[in-house]
Amino acid sequence: MTTLRDPLRETIERRLSQRWDTAQITVLARARPPLDLTGRDLHAAAAQLVERWGAQFGPGPHTLVLALPPGERFLAALLAGLLGGHTLVPVALPRAGAHSDRLAHVLGDCDATALLCLAEHRPAILRHLGTAEDRPAGPRVVAIDGPDNTEADGVAPRRGADAGPGPAIIQYTSGSMRLPKGVRIFGEQILANADLVMRSWDLDASSRFVNWLPHYHDMGLMGGILYPLLAGAYSVQMSPLDMIRRPADWLRAVSTYRATFSGGPAFAFADCVRRVADEDCVGLDLSCWSRAFCGAEPIPAGLLPSFRSRFAPYGLAPAAVFGCYGLAEMTLFAAGAPEDGPLPLPPKGCGAVHPCRLTEITAPGLRIVDPESGRSVPDGESGEIWLRGDSMGRGYLNRPKETQTAFGVAPASGAGGEWLRTGDLGAISGEWVYVTGRLKDILIVNGRKVAAAELEWLAAGLDDALNPLAAAAFMPDPTESGTAVLLIELKSGRKAPDRPDTVRVAIERAVSGEWGLRLRDVRILPRGGLERTTSGKIRRQAVAEAYRQGRYATDGEATGAAAP
């Protein structure tokens, strides 16, 4: 194994050795019995891939895109990359019917040596990329379970081996941009953020973790796979689809494997309250669950109390359920801790969300700042959330202007250190932070974040009369994952489509094929029908609120929604 990123590599190897002959990770799959993987199993699988990649790609380090399903193959590739000193870029497998340029953008942006997949998925990935089997340029698409007969063919490492350690992970995050941005996360940031979670939540070698979150997303990758491993804990890995199909399976896994740690976004907790029936709970014992964390998006007020009440009869302790906050730019975790007693009255404008608790560990790294002046605002007032600490990533890949704007910022108030502008809105009141919204607009589908702008551009591309710069995609119910509404204007001087229903159906199919997202409503509006800022930008959150209030009627009509 290479010596690059020694602290991270050595910690992983030490943790694997401590469970050399006992289960480190159990992988659950619907079509087979649970698969227990010991430290020996995981190390051997990773070492085999490290050797194979050296033969296939030549001396590293390389940037490798992982387009793999959840399970043991992904775990082996993840550990091989981290132990072998490569830079890994986990991505979702493209869905059947998807035709966006997201994957192609990621491959080009990170300058990957290869995209790694399973043999069964390779033809579909090649079709998605629009390339032939013998394409002359671009990263190779290599099946990690295919024949091991490919020798190095002169592929040069994408970064010099003598240039020092590169990023361990590039986490692509969807914000308000049409195409995702890659956050550069190094080994020291992973270790620092894992340590923050360990100290904040008492995650240690005695913990037992159930993870169903997407493995290509920061919350699933870092929080659900790597942090339990780095703490020496045992984890159980489920497919996200199993939880989505049947939320009771998540609770059953917590009960069966006596998990102390497990969590997810607000929609998962809402799905359990709505969809888990009493007959699903027969024999359920959640008394082991001490850290039921809810994060990744603003948490609606009332949701966590409802979850506590619904599952208290099955042993769930009220103090186990709490909110947390974080983002990929800080590797993952920033705030949140178990809650002691009732919540205080929220500050003005924050009554719609559940807060996250600040502690002496996390409070020094978070402040609320006026986004225009850069000055800290008084306690209880809303502003932009700024963060600092050793977990902060090293900027966006190939985006120097955006990196300069967001990373390493100094507040006007003179607070020491370099800060991250999150683009999230919130307020601090006492020991609580209320995350109320986002300057950036995203949609949530089964734990995955989809940029609203990305959906809007895809939809507008299906009819030339539609304006991608004058559209608003949003979730009509923030707790209901996987559904959205699209309001989109016509371009200046263009008439509405002759067959608007045909256009709507085409948009709905394209969006479903791309992300599995169901468009509950698609409305085509005249130019000027959507509320804008003074600079002409669409105010998606204001449009969403107007829609919920019934202020958008039918195509071509808006009742007081547009601003002058």
pLDDT band for 555, please (50, 70, 90 cuts): low
Residue 279 has pLDDT above 60, yes or no: yes
Say how far apart CA 481 and CA 169 lie, in whole Å.
Answer: 27
Q: For residue range 162-218, what is the model confidence (pLDDT) as tens digits?
A: 556 789 999 998 644 557 899 999 999 999 999 999 999 999 999 999 999 999 999
Residue type (1 letter), 203 = L
pLDDT band for 133, please (50, 70, 90 cuts): very low
The H or E element that residue 122 is part of is: helix 122-129
Give 401: exposed, middle or buried? Use CB within 10 Å, 0-12, 13-18, 19+: exposed
Location of each CATH 3.40.50.980 domain in the chain: 6-166
What is the reported pLDDT for 457?
Answer: 79
pLDDT band for 537, please (50, 70, 90 cuts): low
Residue 551 has pLDDT above 60, yes or no: yes
CA–CA distances in Å: residue 188 to residues 75, 77, 417: 20, 20, 18
% of the chain surpassing 70 pLDDT: 88
Please name which of 409, 388, 405, 387 lies closest in space to residue 396, comparing C-alpha atoms. 405
What is the reported pLDDT for 559?
Answer: 38
Residues 6+ apart with CB under 8 A from 118: 68, 69, 73, 143, 144, 145
The pTM of the full predicted model, rounded to 2 decimals, is: 0.82
Q: For residue range 195-205, what is the model confidence (pLDDT) as tens digits?
A: 999 999 999 99
State the DSSP string of 27-77.
E--TTS--EEEEHHHHHHHHHHHHHHHHHHH-SS--EEEE---SSHHHHHH
Q: How far is CA 432 from the centre of its chain?
A: 23
Q: For residue range 470-517, what is the model confidence (pLDDT) as tens digits?
A: 899 998 887 788 899 999 999 877 888 888 999 999 999 999 998 889
What is the reported pLDDT for 469?
Answer: 72
> What does the mean pLDDT of the chain come to?
88
What is the reported pLDDT for 267?
Answer: 84
Query: Measured on CA atoms in the order 232, 362, 260, 445, is the torsion positive or negative?
Result: negative
pLDDT band for 136, please (50, 70, 90 cuts): very low
Residue 67 has pLDDT above 80, yes or no: yes
Say how far apart CA 502 and CA 453 lie, in whole Å.
Answer: 22
Measured from the Cβ of residue 26, the count of other Cβ atoms closer than 10 Å reads 17
Give 121: exposed, middle or buried? Use CB within 10 Å, 0-12, 13-18, 19+: middle
* DSSP H helical ranges for 167-278: 187-201, 218, 227-230, 240-245, 247-256, 266-275
Location of each CATH 3.40.50.12780 domain in the chain: 188-438
Q: For residue range 82-92, what is the model confidence (pLDDT) as tens digits?
A: 999 999 999 99
Say how far apart CA 245 and CA 147 lie, in whole Å.
Answer: 34
What is the reported pLDDT for 382?
Answer: 86
Cβ atoms of 497 and 524 within 8 Å: the answer is yes
Say how far apart CA 83 and CA 66 lie, in whole Å.
Answer: 15
Topology of the domain comprising 188-438: Rossmann fold (3.40.50)
Secondary structure class of 242 (helix, strand, coil): helix
Q: For residue range 142-164, what is the model confidence (pLDDT) as tens digits?
A: 999 987 655 444 454 555 545 56
Average pLDDT over residues 109-124: 96
What is the reported pLDDT for 134?
Answer: 43
Average pLDDT over residues 67-93: 96
What is the reported pLDDT for 159?
Answer: 54
Q: Determine the longest span between alpha carbons in the chain, in angstroms.
A: 70
- For the chain, first and last CA: distance in Å? 63
Residue 439 has pLDDT above 70, yes or no: no
Average pLDDT over residues 235-263: 97
Location of each CATH 3.30.300.30 domain in the chain: 442-548
Residues 6+ apart with CB under 8 A from 515: 95, 98, 445, 448, 450, 455
Residue 319 has pLDDT above 80, yes or no: yes
Average pLDDT over residues 120-133: 82
Cβ atoms of 466 and 454 within 8 Å: the answer is no
Asked, as a colleague might, if the bond just before 34 is cis with ω within 30 of 0, I would say no
Say how far apart CA 89 and CA 184 lie, in whole Å.
Answer: 10
- Spell 133-169 as b/e; 16+ CB within 10 A means b: eeeeeebebbebeeeeeeeeeeeebbbeeeeebbbbb
What is the reported pLDDT for 358?
Answer: 97
What is the reported pLDDT for 491?
Answer: 84
Q: Which CATH number fits domain 442-548: 3.30.1490.20, 3.90.1150.170, 3.30.300.30, 3.90.550.10?
A: 3.30.300.30
Please name which of 404, 371, 368 lies closest in space to residue 387, comparing C-alpha atoms. 368
Residue 558 has pLDDT above 60, yes or no: no
Cβ atoms of 210 and 180 within 8 Å: the answer is no
Topology of the domain comprising 6-166: Rossmann fold (3.40.50)
Phi-psi region of 286 (alpha: psi -120 to 50; beta: other; left: phi over 0): alpha
What is the reported pLDDT for 562?
Answer: 34
As given in the structure block, the two tokens for residue 298 are 């603003």
Say how far apart CA 148 and CA 51 lie, in whole Å.
Answer: 11
Cβ atoms of 45 and 76 within 8 Å: the answer is yes
